[in-house]
């Protein structure tokens, strides 16, 4: 087809001469009036009187007086913005520069990650949309009782999440016309020595059960993370020194991946208030805690980071120093045993453990990274290897989630948790509290139980 069009263009006939006639020019004001009148007649729309100095005031946003002032201001600002620009532009303004980087790597998951970056995570159901009666019953039922014991915490928490552009809260009457709106009850889980955790109960009204599993199943590998870590320690050669462990946490976790804008109302939750007469609906702009697809979608990103780290380390690719490398290495030292940690050895501390001869030979220092959802655990022997593995892991995280930029909102945080870095969570240690792996585990300083020393009584 392209060849035919080329031959036609070569032998095209000359164009007819263009005859320009002098037309009488109307005054500019008359032309503008004529165009305006013609458009008005064609569209059958009454043109507003733009000469009015005071535009018609918008409908006032009425909220409960029991709401804290700061939270009420956040809700009012979002309602006014939504009325002004509409849903699509409203969500676009919340997204900003996004959380994902430009993915400067080759990986089988890259195409799927690009879809999440540009379109968001999809939320699709097996069943039809809810009717007004079902929605009203969910509103009347309200949140779980656990929320009412933590109202102050929730109000403070949501101010922070709204400023970070992770959640929004809107009055129900502002979004009642949304076709795909569903409302689930939230709950609060108290945590020992930590802040309580807000979670959405998407199983209460079968939202989880009716969700289509649109995700990469192979990304769900964290169930055996501890087994893989212990295997690498078991196969390590003790002649190369003890296996050091460092753990890197991501800040905001699931909240790094956005939802598809038009699917957001499907994961709405009722926000608990002191005045149930004016119901508020919280809508997640990102993957929420409690939704069945949040973990596998998020693990698509974190498992890719672990793959990139291991691939780079195995091929010994050079890696520049990471901006946080100095901060992370400030507390690298010989660690002391944790207060409640089990003893690392029941034998003489200077006795070199004898390696099981049945194990395959290993002449290289351990250099391995694994991940449990959002907790990265890296293993390494020898000082150069330890520094290289940690540095490579931090660069891999930056290749997935965009580091801070001067153009970012002041409430956005660095993907690598700065708080835990300062606390020494990234330090290299013989033993490590890996409570993020589901249970509290202390990884010992030797890859296996040493044989008893003759000098030990």
Q: How many angstroms separate the Cα of 71 from the Cα of each of 155, 161, 229?
A: 7, 11, 44
HSE value, Cβ hemisphere, 13 Å, CA-based, for 8 = 5
pLDDT at 13 over 60: no
| pLDDT on residue 8 | 33
Give the model confidence (pLDDT) of 309-328 as tens digits: 999 999 999 988 888 877 77
pLDDT at residue 351, rounded to an integer: 54
Model pLDDT, residue 123: 97
Asked if the structure places residue 48 within a domain, the reply is no
pLDDT of residue 442: 43
> What is the pLDDT at residue 332?
61
Percent pLDDT > 70 in the chain is: 73
pLDDT digits (tens, 9 = 90+) for 118-162: 999 999 999 999 999 999 999 999 999 999 999 999 999 999 999
Closest CA to 261 of 390, 37, 94: 94
Q: Which of 48-57, 423-432, 436-445 has the highest mean pLDDT?
A: 423-432
Domain assignment of residue 26, yes or no: no
Residue-number span of the structural domain to which 146 is assigned: 69-216+257-297
Instruction: Kindly report the CATH number assigned to the domain that includes residue 208.
Output: 3.10.10.10
Instruction: Give pLDDT, residue 439.
Output: 41
Q: Domain for residue 154, yes or no?
A: yes
Segment 228-242, tens digit of pLDDT = 999 998 888 888 888
Angle at 53 between CA 52 and CA 56, to 5 degrees: 70
Instruction: Please give the residue that has the higher pLDDT: either 49 or 404.
Output: 404
Report percent pLDDT > 90 for the chain.
53
What pLDDT is stored for residue 350 in this prediction? Answer: 53
421 vs 6, residue with greater confidence: 421
pLDDT, tens only, 205-225: 999 999 999 999 888 887 889
> Region 338-350: what's the mean pLDDT?
49
Q: How many domains does the chain have?
A: 1
What confidence score (pLDDT) does residue 457 get? Answer: 35
In angstroms, the CA 303 to CA 322 distance is 20
d(CA 138, CA 144): 11
pTM: 0.77
Task: Give pLDDT, residue 299.
Answer: 95
* Gap between the Cα atoms of 354 and 448, Å rounded: 9
CA pair distance 393, 325, nearest whole angstrom: 11
Domain membership of residue 343 (yes or no) is no
> pLDDT of 104-117, one tens digit each?
999 999 999 999 99
pLDDT of residue 324: 86
Domain presence at residue 101: yes
Residue 406 inside a domain? The answer is no
Does residue 347 carry a pLDDT above 50? Answer: no
pLDDT at 323: 87
Instruction: Give domain status of residue 283, yes or no.
Output: yes
Q: Are strands 280-284 and 268-271 parallel, antiparallel or unpaired?
A: antiparallel
Q: Is 131 within the bounds of a domain?
A: yes
């Amino acid at each position: 087809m392209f060849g035919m069009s080329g031959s036609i263009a070569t032998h095209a006939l000359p164009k007819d001469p263009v005859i320009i006639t002098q037309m009488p020019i109307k005054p500019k004001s008359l032309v503008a009036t004529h165009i305006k009148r013609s458009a008005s007649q064609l569209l059958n729309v009454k043109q507003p009187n733009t000469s009015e100095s005071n535009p018609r005031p918008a409908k006032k946003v009425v909220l409960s007086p029991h709401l804290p002032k700061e939270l009420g201001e956040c809700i009012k600002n979002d309602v006014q913005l939504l009325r002004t620009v509409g849903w699509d532009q409203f969500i676009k303004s919340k997204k900003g520069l996004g959380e994902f980087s430009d993915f400067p790597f080759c990986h089988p998951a890259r195409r799927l990650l690009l879809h999440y970056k540009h379109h968001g995570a999809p939320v699709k159901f097996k069943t039809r949309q809810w009717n007004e009666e079902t929605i009203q019953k969910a509103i009347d039922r309200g949140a779980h009782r656990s929320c009412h014991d933590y109202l102050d915490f929730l109000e403070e928490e949501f101010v922070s999440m709204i400023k970070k552009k992770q959640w929004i809260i809107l009055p129900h009457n502002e979004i009642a016309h949304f076709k795909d709106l569903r409302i689930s009850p939230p709950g609060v889980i108290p945590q020992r020595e930590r802040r309580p955790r807000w979670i959405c109960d998407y199983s209460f009204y079968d939202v989880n059960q009716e969700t289509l599993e649109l995700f990469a199943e192979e990304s769900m590998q964290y169930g055996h993370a501890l087994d893989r870590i212990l295997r690498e320690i078991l196969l390590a050669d003790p002649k190369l020194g003890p296996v050091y462990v460092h753990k890197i946490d991501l800040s905001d976790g699931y909240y790094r991946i956005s939802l598809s804008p038009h699917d957001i109302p499907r994961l709405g939750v009722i926000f608990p208030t002191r005045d149930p007469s004016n119901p508020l609906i919280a809508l997640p702009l990102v993957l929420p805690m409690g939704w069945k697809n949040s973990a596998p979608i998020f693990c698509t990103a974190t498992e890719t980071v672990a793959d990139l780290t291991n691939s780079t380390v195995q091929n010994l690719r050079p890696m520049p120093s990471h901006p946080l490398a100095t901060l992370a290495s400030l507390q690298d030292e010989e660690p002391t045993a944790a207060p409640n940690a089990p003893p690392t050895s029941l034998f003489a501390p200077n006795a070199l453990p004898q390696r099981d001869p049945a194990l395959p030979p290993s002449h290289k220092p351990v250099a391995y990274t694994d991940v449990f959802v959002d907790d990265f655990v890296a293993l390494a022997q020898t000082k150069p290897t330890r520094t290289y593995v940690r540095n490579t892991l931090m660069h891999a995280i930056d290749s997935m989630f965009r580091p801070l930029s001067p153009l970012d909102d002041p409430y956005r945080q660095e993907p690598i948790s700065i708080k835990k870095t300062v606390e020494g969570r990234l330090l290299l240690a013989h033993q490590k509290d890996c409570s993020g792996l589901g249970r509290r585990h202390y990884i010992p300083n030797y890859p296996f139980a040493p044989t008893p020393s003759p000098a030990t009584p």
